[in-house]
Amino acid sequence: MTPFYFGRPERRLFGVFHPSTPGKPVKAGVVVAAPFGHEAIRVHRFNRLLADRLSRQGVAVLRFDYFGTGDSGGSDEDASLDAWAEDLCEAHRELLRRIGDLPTTWFTARLGANVALRAAHQAFPRVQRMLLWDPVVDGRAYLAELGLAQVDELDVAYCIPDPAWRGGLRRDPLAFAQESLGFSIPEVLREQILELRPDAPAQPPTCPVAVIARGQDHAARQWCEAAAVEAPGKLRHVPFDHSLIWTSNPFANNEVAPASALQQMLGELS
């Protein structure tokens, strides 16, 4: 495992490269892109374990932070889906520079899935396959979910919670859409998220895509059906339930890296 910086001097990105296990020839590559904000923290250990397992199977992996997130340069205010799509393309090129012209898959979750769909249209060389875990398909519902998580956390953090927080959410589900669990949601990113609708995929898939989503996620199923019309034969919906709660701090029965999910993703990526 090798941590390093890459990309343009004015837009330095932090990455971690997991080469194939010594003595095992590299047969493919995977770029692991993070979701947004607290969800990236929740899935960090999972992505690390996934990269380690893949490297033992002869798959080289590059994990990285978007500009303005993690250990990359920039700040929260630099966040946008379009800018992050450029970062994903940069990580894609960096991985291929290290492993050569080998089949490459992108793996990401939640809002990272929307980044990947945007990036695939501009990636060169082309990405061969994408695996999207619980993609955000309803932007308004997603921001409302982040706002509820923000108020829940405020209630826990303060000895005497302010009833006005709940009242604000009842009047406007997007009352807390400027911040979530310590992460700023700048206006540009907020507007891009609000454009996401389950009945109208923003970017049809350009390569085979597997969407891993909860069996009861009707919005995800609707999104998959709409995307399949735009790109026949490219999209596969895989119903899968897991115990990871994206916007929650660890509680009982809320695993940081559910073993079932790890096995599911390994199977799809292998």
Q: Which residues pair with residue 129 across a beta bridge? A: 105
Measured CA to CA, the distance from residue 169 to residue 112 in angstroms comes to 26
* pLDDT given at position 255: 60
23 pLDDT band, cuts 50/70/90, is: confident
Measured CA to CA, the distance from residue 260 to residue 11 in angstroms comes to 36
What DSSP letter does each residue of 16-50 carry, written as one string?
A: EEEPPPTTS---EEEEEE--STHHHHHHHHHHHHH
Q: What is the H or E stretch that residue 13 is in?
A: strand 13-18
pTM of the predicted model, to two decimals?
0.92
Neighbour-count burial of 56, counting CB atoms closer than 10 A to its CB (0-12 exposed, 13-18 middle, 19+ buried): exposed
36, two tokens: 């947004």
DSSP structural state of residue 160? S
**Helical segments of the chain, H only:** 38-56, 81-99, 111-120, 139-157, 163-171, 187-194, 218-230, 259-269
For the segment 27-83, what is each residue's pLDDT rounded down to a tens digit? 999 999 999 999 999 899 999 999 999 999 999 999 999 999 999 999 988 999 999
**Share above pLDDT 90 across residues of the chain, in percent, rounded to a whole number:** 57
Angle subtended by helix axes 139-157 and 187-194, to nearest 10: 130
For the segment 217-259, what is each residue's pLDDT rounded down to a tens digit? 888 888 888 888 877 778 889 998 887 778 776 555 556 778 8
By DSSP bridging, strand 209-213 and strand 179-180 are unpaired
CB 258 within 8 A of CB 242: yes
DSSP structural state of residue 247? T
For the segment 128-152, what is each residue's pLDDT rounded down to a tens digit? 999 999 999 999 999 999 998 888 8
**Straight-line distance from the first to the last Cα atom of the chain, in angstroms, rounded to the nearest whole number:** 20
Measured CA to CA, the distance from residue 31 to residue 131 in angstroms comes to 10
Q: Which residues pair with residue 61 across a beta bridge? A: 18, 30
